Each structure stands twice: as structure tokens, then as C-alpha cells.
Amino acid sequence: MQTFKINQARPDPLVVTEIAELLRSGGVIAFPTDTFYGIGADIYNETAIKRVFEIKGRMNDKPILILISNEEELGTLISSGTISEASRIVIDQFWPGPLTLVFNASDRISDKLTGGTGKIGVRLPENTFCIMLIQKLGSPITATSANISGMGSIDNPTDVLANIGNKIDAIVDGGLTTGGLESTVVDVSGSEPVILREGAISYSHIKNVRFF
């Protein structure tokens, strides 16, 4: 297993490129996000996605969220290809940041990632390293929490290694993450947004958005 040391705010582009090449070849990594450490794989590599489920011991009917580097990437990920009014209002208020939006998935998205639901959770993180990595790879990446299913999220590389270090190809050691609460999850696949999980962005904050 490899270890990559990075500064989350000012990552070395050469190191980011090396990590992207590992993902491109089907590798699976643990990496820091703007909330906790996640398990990363290329979303278009079916073998890598299968490994993510195996690493976590995750049930196949449980969806896995993905990270993007800009809003334009949504066009190929969601079924309509366009962002609805409901989605646009929430995006303008809370992205980038700890908010996962659930859309109807396009045909390009693996059924493994949607858990057979036909929906995909997407987040635009407020993290320089994550953005650079996705851009270098040229593809969104998975970001399910770097732990065994049912256990708490992890904010440091030491605990990640203790939990799943023998199952991943590399860990990106960026030190501590912000931690706190996980991302808030809002389903915007219908005519009106539905809050599925309250997290780092509170219910009261979200409900003040004029659409609700």
C-alpha cells in the first residue's frame, strides 16, 4: 500500500497527478475531503466500484455518493441532463460545501452506485485537493466514508489505516479533516426538495431557502 502526503489547501500537482493515475488504473484510495476521509474510486470503473463495496462490507442496495469538481459535470450524471429550478436554488445557496444532492441518475451511472434506486447522490466539495484530483482524473470519484459500514466516520489517517489500511491501494494523508457532522442530504429528484439527512448544514438553515 502506498502513502501520499499532501497539503489539502496547497497540494503538489505532481503528487495529485500520481494519485489520479492510480485511480485511472482501477486503484482504490482513502483520501481527505472537506468533512471526513472517504474511499475514492473512478465512478466509471466497475471493478473498482465493486471493491469499494467489499472494502466497506456494504450492502449492494446502499447507494454510494460521488464528488464532482464543478457544476457542469452534472450534465452527464443526471437523467434530464439539465438542472431543475429546485436544484439550482439549493446549489446556488450551498455549493461548494457539505451538501449532497440526490438526482435521478443518467444511464451512464452504474447501478452499483445507485444501489438499484435509479438515483445518485452528488456533492461539490469545498476542498482544493479533491477538486484538483477530480480534474486530473477527468472523472468524478466515489466518496463514501472510509470505514466499515455501520461504524463512525473518520477524520484522521491513523484511524483510517487501522480500519481499512489492509484493503486499499493507497492512503492520501492530508492530516485532520474538519470532521464534525457529515454532509446534509437533500433529494432534488422531484418537484420539491426533500431533506433526507440533516448534517453539517442544519434543517433550519435549509428551510429558510425561499424554495422550501
The reported pTM is 0.94
Q: Is CATH 3.90.870.10 what the domain over 2-207 is classified as, yes or no?
A: yes
Beta strand 37-40 with 144-145: parallel, antiparallel or unpaired?
A: antiparallel
CA distance 28 to 47: 10
Question: Could you report the per-residue pLDDT of 29-68, keeping only the tens digit for each?
Answer: 999 999 999 999 999 999 999 999 999 999 999 999 999 9
Question: Could you report the per-residue pLDDT of 112-167, keeping only the tens digit for each?
Answer: 999 999 999 999 999 999 999 999 999 999 999 999 998 899 999 999 999 999 99
CA distance 93 to 149: 31
Residue 48: its pLDDT value, please?
98
Residue 202: its pLDDT value, please?
87
Going from N- to C-terminal start, the domains of the chain cover 2-207
Residue 160: its pLDDT value, please?
98
Contacts of 160 (CB under 8 A, 6+ apart): 30, 37, 146, 147, 154, 171
H/E stretch holding 2: strand 2-5
